[in-house]
């Protein structure tokens, strides 16, 4: 009874050009509900650009992007705004509003887009922080007082504020130490397993890819080069994919991925 529509995101032959330079040359894939999908690719292959196009920040040259049943670049601004409440985005550096405390940052979407009873606002903000792995003592801190890892957690808490169906993460573990990064992986996994959220992330972190991700989409040469589970990707005999994962296999032979 509780199954919902399976396709959350549909990217259809997206083309992006900056002047003479073609970044995407017909990128297509779909995203299933309840999965944790990673987008990988070398620097400059337009991962972040694609992410910005999906969430409606940057217009692709051509192609269609359909997120949560809304055509991001053709539907009206009202439809887009309604859709924006159904996904959350964590920017690479957190993009917390620096003039507000962490609690106020998390409260922004709640106050703007929902009618939370005043008594419940504070517990709800604290719950979001706890869901992102932050204690209640972080609530009154300013973003400038937080470490990189805490800033990312606070950003996740803000992205989760409205109970989104999809969360987009731009390099969630970049700049974190390995311990914090692995804890972050578990956090991201629990969003999918415990909160039924679909997660789409851009990453370079091989540990994230090998441990918590359900599916990997490889962006290379302006197209989707490969798309599948980590095992399928590792078995690919494409040169680029081989070299991408070779660093890892040099250090330790690849173990059975934890599923």
Residues in contact with another protein, shown as a per-residue x/- string from 77 to 116 under the rule CB under 8 A: ---------------------xx---x----------xxx
Nearer to another protein, 165 or 170 (CB): 165
Give the position of tokens 């005043």: 118
Residues in contact with another protein, shown as a per-residue x/- string from 162 to 181 under the rule CB under 8 A: xx------------------
Closest CA to 60 of 78, 73, 43: 73
Distances (CA, A) of 98 to 93, 95, 142, 173, 252: 12, 8, 7, 21, 42
Tokens for 223, please give them.
């197209």
Q: Does 143 bind another protein (CB under 8 A)?
A: yes
Least Cβ distance, residue 38 to another protein (angstroms)? 23
50, 14 contact by CB (below 8 A): yes
Bridge partners, 199 (sequence order): 36, 167
Least Cβ distance, residue 103 to another protein (angstroms)? 7
Q: Considering only residues 27-86, where is the footprint of another protein by CB under 8 A?
A: none
Tokens for 19, please give them.
């002047």
Least Cβ distance, residue 210 to another protein (angstroms)? 25
Tokens for 254, please give them.
């690849």
d(CA 135, CA 182): 18
Q: Which stretch binds another protein (CB under 8 A): 46-54, 117-125, 231-239, 243-251?
A: 117-125
Binding site for another protein (CB under 8 A): 1-6, 98-99, 103, 114-117, 119-120, 122-124, 126-127, 129-131, 135-136, 139-140, 142-144, 162-163, 193-196
């Amino acid at each position: 009874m509780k199954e919902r529509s399976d396709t959350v995101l549909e990217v259809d032959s997206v083309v992006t050009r900056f002047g003479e330079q073609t970044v995407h040359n017909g990128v297509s894939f779909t995203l299933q509900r309840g999965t944790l999908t990673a987008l990988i690719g070398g620097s400059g292959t337009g991962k972040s650009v694609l992410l910005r196009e999906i969430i409606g920040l940057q217009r692709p040259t051509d192609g269609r992007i359909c997120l949560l049943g809304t055509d991001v670049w053709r539907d009206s601004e009202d439809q887009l705004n309604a859709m924006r409440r159904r996904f959350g985005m964590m920017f690479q550096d957190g993009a917390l509003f620096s003039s507000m405390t962490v609690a106020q940052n998390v409260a922004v979407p709640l106050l703007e887009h929902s009618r939370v009873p005043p008594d419940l606002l504070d517990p709800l903000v604290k719950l979001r922080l706890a869901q992102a792995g932050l204690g209640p003592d972080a609530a009154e801190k300013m973003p400038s007082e937080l470490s990189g890892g805490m800033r990312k957690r606070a950003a996740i808490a803000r992205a989760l504020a409205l109970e989104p169906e999809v969360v987009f993460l731009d390099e969630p573990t970049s700049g974190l130490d390995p311990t914090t990064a692995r804890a972050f992986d578990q956090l991201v996994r629990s969003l999918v397993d415990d909160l039924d959220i679909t997660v789409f992330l851009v990453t370079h972190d091989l540990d994230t890819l090998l441990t918590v991700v359900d599916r990997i989409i490889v962006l290379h040469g302006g197209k989707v080069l490969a798309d599948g589970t980590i095992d399928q990707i590792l078995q690919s005999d494409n040169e680029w994919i081989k070299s991408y994962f070779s660093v890892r296999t040099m250090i330790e032979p690849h173990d059975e991925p934890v599923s």
